[in-house]
Amino acid sequence: MDLGRIRTLEALPEEEAAGRIQAERDRFGKNLCVLAHLYQRKKITELADFVGDSYGLSKSAASFDGGKYIVFCGVRFMAESAAILARPEQVVLHPDPEAGCPMADMASLDEVRRSWNSLSRLSGTTVPVTYMNSTADIKAFCGERGGTICTSSNASKTFEWAFQQGKRIFFLPDEHLGRNTALKYGIDPEEIVVWDPEKTDGGEPESYEEAKVILWRGYCPVHQKFTVRDVEHVRRFYPKAQIIVHPEVPAEIVQIADAVGSTDYIRKYVAKTKPGDQIFIGTEINLVQNLASQYPDRLIQKLHRSLCLTMYQITMGRLLYTLENLETLERVVVPEEVRHFSRVALDRMLSLTAV
C-alpha cells in the first residue's frame, strides 16, 4: 500500500471522498460488492451494498449477483470469514490489513493447541466451540476436532448441540459471551470455569474435570468497559428508559439489563420502539450514533462511550484507495486446509440453524 497516497486521500473533504467512492462503484457496477459492519462510521455504511454483522455480511457477499470484488469494511477476521464463504471467482479485499480484532487475537493457535493437549487428558469428550469473532485458524481448529462456530444470536442452540456431543464445552475466545450463554442455558455457575493461557495449567486445574463449560480468558475491549454503575446511573436519571446490551458485556450487566442481544438484535429492538421512547445501548458507539440518527423521534443514547479503535481504522480515504486499486491490491487469502475445516465448522453451525 502507498501510505503517502492514502494520507492524501484521507485529507479529502468527506463529501468529495464520498463522490469519488461512488464514481468507482459506478465504474465497476455489479462486479463490486462493498460490505460495512454496523460499527463502521455512518458515511461508510451509507456507501455500502450491505450493512450488518460479520456473518450476515459474508453470506450476503457470497450470494450477491456478481461481486467479483468484495471489499469488507470491518476488522480482519471478518474479511477472512468472507474469503472462506466466497465463491471461487470472487476475491476479498480489506482496506486496512492491520485492523485486527483484539479479542480474536487473544486466542492464538499455538496457545489453543497447548490448552487442548491438557484438556484432552480429561475424562469424557470436550467439544470446542468458537465464537464467529475468531481467526480462521481457530475456526478450523474447532472444525477439525468435531466442534463448531456460533454467533451471538445462536449461541444457546450451539450449546444444546454441543452437550449432545460430549461432556463439556471449551468455549473460545470470549469469556463473557460464553458465561452469559452458559447461565442462560441453565448451567450452574460452579460448573463454569476459566482457562487462562497465561497461567500454569490454565489456572484452575482442579476444576476442569467436573466443569461443564471451560471459558477461554478473552474479552472484547469495547464491551468490557460497561459497568453496573453505568446501568444504575441510567435507572436513577432516566427511570423510564429501556437498557439493551450486547452479550459480550460482563454477566453482572446482562443480569440487570432490560434486553440482551447481538448487533442485529439491537437494531431490530430499536426499530420496534415507539416515538418518545428512551433507549440506552451498551455496545460500540458508532452503532448507537447511527441508530440515533435513524430514529430522531426517540432518545437513543450510549450506556457508556466505547469506540472500537481497530474498526475505526477503516477510513473513507482507505476505502477510496482500495477501490482505486482493486486489481493490484493484496487479496485476503485463507490457506486451503484452514478454509476447508473452517467450512466444516460453519456447515455444522448452519445445520443447527436449519433445524
Whole-number Å distance between alpha carbons of 202 and 194: 7
For the chain, give every domain's residue range.
3-100+311-324, 104-221+339-354, 226-302
Query: What's the chain's average pLDDT?
Result: 94
Question: pLDDT band at residue 133, thresholds of 50, 70 and 90?
Answer: very high
Per-residue pLDDT, 60? 83
Position 353 confidence tier, pLDDT thresholds 50, 70, 90: low
pLDDT confidence band for 355 (50 / 70 / 90): very low
- Averaged pLDDT, 201-206: 94
Please report the DSSP string for 196-233 in residue order: -TTSGGGS-TTTTTT-SEEEES---HHHHT--HHHHHH
Q: Which H, E and C letters describe 17-30, residue by residue?
A: HHHHHHHHHHHHHH
Mean pLDDT value of segment 51-61: 83
pLDDT tens by residue, 9-32: 999 999 999 999 999 999 999 999
Domain 226-302 has CATH 3.40.50.10800: yes
Q: Residues 263-306: pLDDT tens digits?
A: 989 999 999 999 999 999 999 999 999 999 999 999 999 999 99
Look at the domain 104-221+339-354 and name its fold: Rossmann fold (3.40.50)
Identify the CATH homologous superfamily for domain 3-100+311-324: NadA-like (3.40.50.10800)
Per-residue confidence (pLDDT) for residue 21, from 0 to 100? 96
If one compares 3 and 107, the residue with the highest pLDDT of the two is: 107
Percent of the residues in the chain that have a pLDDT greater than 70, as a whole number: 99
Q: Do domains 104-221+339-354 and 226-302 have the same CATH topology?
A: yes
Given strand 192-195, what is the order of strands in its sheet?
148-150, 126-131, 168-172, 213-216, 192-195
Preceding amide of 173 cis, omega within 30: yes
Q: Is it the case that residue 354 has pLDDT exceeding 90?
A: no
- Count of other CB atoms within 10 angstroms of residue 176: 22
Tell me the three cell numbers of residue 19.
Answer: 463522490
Name the residue with higher pLDDT: 2 or 281.
281
Residue 145 scores a pLDDT above 90: yes
In order of 52, 115, 149, 214, 234, the CA distances from 170 in angstroms are 28, 10, 12, 5, 35
